Amino acid sequence: MKVTFKIWRQEGPNDKGAIRAYEVDGLTEDMSFLEALDHLNELLVLKDEKVIAFEYDCREGICGQCGVFINGRAHGPHDHMTTCQLHMRSFKEGDTIVVEPWRAASFPVIKDLIVDRSAFDRIIEQGAFISAKTGTAPEANAIPIPKAVSDRAMDAAACIGCGACVATCKNSSAALFTSAKINHLNGLPQGRAEEHKRVAEMTYQMEIEGFGSCTFTGACEVECPEGISIINIAEMNARVTKAKVLG
Amino acid sequence: MALNPLFFRKTIIAGTGLFLCIFLVVHLSANCILLLPEETARGLYNSYSTTLRESPLIKIVAYLLYASILLHVFYALLITLRNRKAKPQKYVMNHSKENSTWTSQNMGLIGTMILLFIVVHLANFWARIKLGMGEAVRLDAVGNVDVYEVTSSLFHNIYYVIFYTVLAIPLALHLHHGFKSAFKTLGFYHKNGLRIVAKVALIYAIIMGVGFGIIPLIVYLK
């Protein structure tokens, strides 16, 4: 299988960067997209050229490291999928595949396809945890939680922090990510003790990191590998108001 | 507690937007008078507009309306500028239509078209009737200001008819996305409730778009 990759190359954060084309032969349909990039990098090594920098870790669709913009879509042409789960069979012989890093002021490019997503970490640091003592896990039945409540918390907790929501959003809004982290904990009894503080501080951090506002285009929930619903954002909005009134 | 200083800008846009949605219902209902036979329409329309102009309550509502439009536009502009700053570099290739509607991606552009419409609309009616600019407006047989004549003569100009009818399209698009999003911005997160809101938004937008778009045409053809 032969394709043409058009890949964003950028030496460093202050470099201008540009798209470069690479014709790659010897691919198979069963290769994952990242394996195709590995293959291209091996060819570049043989030619003594600089390899393309891209991020990955688990290659199992659960770590959230491997986000890139492929042919105009976050994580490639499919809905609800990470880049590592995308395979070359999704493309045709002779296709041109445009690969770009996540674009957002809050996600500056470090090199090539790698962006700095530490803005997410700083949002997490503001309250996506509970101030419980560490130690042995408490007895599971000590706090009864209705199934519906735990299901909703789990749905929100599924967020892997890949940044596709920010990448695809025309406003680079981090509302889906932040709302998932807030609703995951605020819905559960263990998280409720600090709910107003958590909402206030996490949404505040989200704003000062320079992410835009949510205008409910709904693009994020389509690109989200975990299919996290934008209803979470509406719920976060309600929680912000509640924190304002009660907090 | 440090609460988000910017978060409530969206609340203002949503709140004023919903208020304007209610206003449009009243406005379209009144416009339906124009569909009646000419003499009945003239009498009813002129007495209705005279009642509105003389009511102190409507005066308050009118100021609320002006304030809503200004706040809606002002905060939308602020947020849009900030949103642009949040995404300084666009993608070389972006297939946003595969994950969202064109309308939702272009609310600012559509809103600007509506703002242009409002300016022309105010110049046609508000400036002439309330500010007395341009050609003086006559009184009708019972001594009311003949607003019907202003409307009817405007809608016998084909260029204005086209302008009013065509700009009902961006209005409908804006209302469809705006109505359902306002609920989410204001924190309504009931799953089935939001499904109903989405359906209501579609029906509402169609009624408003078709209603405002077709009445000038009917008056022209009458």
pLDDT band (50, 70, 90) for residue A247: confident
| B94 domain residue, yes or no | no
pLDDT band (50, 70, 90) for residue A140: confident
pLDDT at A170: 97
**Judgement on whether residues A73 and A165 belong to the same structural domain of the protein:** no
Give the nearest partner residue to A200 out of B1, B101, B187, using CB atoms: B1
Provide, as residue numbers in chain B, all residues whose Cβ is less than 8 Å from the Cβ of A231.
184, 189, 191, 194
Answer yes or no: do B89 and A103 touch at CB < 8 A: yes
| B95 domain residue, yes or no | no
CA distance A241 to B192: 22
The C-alpha of A46 sits at a distance from chain B's nearest C-alpha, in angstroms, of 29
**Judgement on whether residues A140 and A239 belong to the same structural domain of the protein:** yes
Answer yes or no: do B1 and A243 touch at CB < 8 A: yes
pLDDT at A136: 83
Residue in chain B lying closest to A222 (CA): B99
pLDDT at A59: 96
**Judgement on whether residues A234 and A171 belong to the same structural domain of the protein:** yes
What is the CB neighbour count within 10 angstroms for residue B191? 9
**Judgement on whether residues A61 and A154 belong to the same structural domain of the protein:** no
Residue in chain A lying closest to B88 (CA): A105
Question: Which of residues A88, A111, A134 is at a domain's end?
Answer: A111
Give the nearest partner residue to A171 out of B1, B83, B177, using CB atoms: B83
Averaged over A75-84, what is the pLDDT? 98
| B154 domain residue, yes or no | yes
pLDDT band (50, 70, 90) for residue A141: confident
What is the CB neighbour count within 10 angstroms for residue B81? 11
Helix locations, chain B, DSSP H: 7-31, 38-54, 56-86, 102-105, 107-124, 126-129, 147-154, 158-166, 168-185, 191-221
Q: What is the CA radius of gyration of chain A?
A: 20
The pTM of the full predicted model, rounded to 2 decimals, is 0.94
**Judgement on whether residues A75 and A17 belong to the same structural domain of the protein:** yes
| B96 domain residue, yes or no | no
pLDDT band (50, 70, 90) for residue A245: confident
**Judgement on whether residues A84 and A173 belong to the same structural domain of the protein:** no
Q: Using DSSP, state whether A100 is helix, strand or coil.
A: strand
Asked if the ipTM is above 0.90, the reply is yes
The DSSP call for residue B155 is T
pLDDT at A22: 98
Cross-strand pairs, A214: none
pLDDT at B11: 93
**Judgement on whether residues A8 and A79 belong to the same structural domain of the protein:** yes
What are the average pLDDT values for consecutive 10-residue runs of chain B, which has 222 residues?
68 97 97 95 96 95 97 96 96 97 97 98 94 89 94 96 98 98 97 98 98 97 89
| B97 domain residue, yes or no | no
CATH number of B29's domain: 1.20.1300.10
Q: For residue B157, what are the domain limits?
A: 8-86+104-221
**Judgement on whether residues A144 and A206 belong to the same structural domain of the protein:** yes
Query: What's the pLDDT tens digit per position in B2-15?
Result: 556 667 899 999 99
Amino acid at B211: G
The DSSP call for residue A51 is P
Provide, as residue numbers in chain A, all residues whose Cβ is less than 8 Å from the Cβ of B5.
204, 207
pLDDT at B4: 60
CA A87 to chain centre: 19
Question: Which of residues A85, A111, A137 is at a domain's end?
Answer: A111
What is the CB neighbour count within 10 angstroms for residue B9? 18
pLDDT at B2: 53
The DSSP call for residue A5 is E
Closest to A202 (Cα-Cα) out of A118, A120, A133: A120
Cross-strand pairs, A18: A9
Give the number of domains in chain A. 2
Q: What is the mean pLDDT of chain A?
A: 96
Q: For residue A225, what are the domain limits?
A: 118-246
pLDDT at B121: 97
CATH number of A171's domain: 1.10.1060.10
The C-alpha of A242 sits at a distance from chain B's nearest C-alpha, in angstroms, of 10
CA distance B152 to B196: 38
Provide, as residue numbers in chain B, all residues whose Cβ is less than 8 Å from the Cβ of A215.
79, 83, 104, 107, 181
Q: Please check the confidence at residue A105 and state whether its pLDDT lies above 70.
A: yes
Question: Which of residues A87, A111, A135 is at a domain's end?
Answer: A111
Q: Please check the confidence at residue A96 and state whether its pLDDT lies above 70.
A: yes
pLDDT at A73: 98
Query: What's the pLDDT tens digit per position in A146-160?
Result: 999 999 999 999 999
Contact between B117 and B162 under an 8 Å Cβ cutoff? The reply is no
Q: Please check the confidence at residue A99 and state whether its pLDDT lies above 60.
A: yes
Q: Using DSSP, state whether A115 is helix, strand or coil.
A: strand
pLDDT band (50, 70, 90) for residue A100: very high
pLDDT at B135: 85
Residue in chain A lying closest to B101 (CA): A217
| B38 domain residue, yes or no | yes
| B55 domain residue, yes or no | yes
pLDDT at B5: 61
Structure tokens at A190: 């263990």
**Judgement on whether residues A132 and A231 belong to the same structural domain of the protein:** yes
Residue in chain A lying closest to B97 (CA): A219
The C-alpha of B167 sits at a distance from chain A's nearest C-alpha, in angstroms, of 22
Give the nearest partner residue to B91 out of A100, A203, A234, using CB atoms: A100
Give the number of domains in chain B. 1
CATH number of A27's domain: 3.10.20.30
Averaged over A81-94, what is the pLDDT? 98
**Distances B126 to A142, A220, B49, B121, B206 between C-alpha atoms, Å:** 67, 42, 12, 8, 26
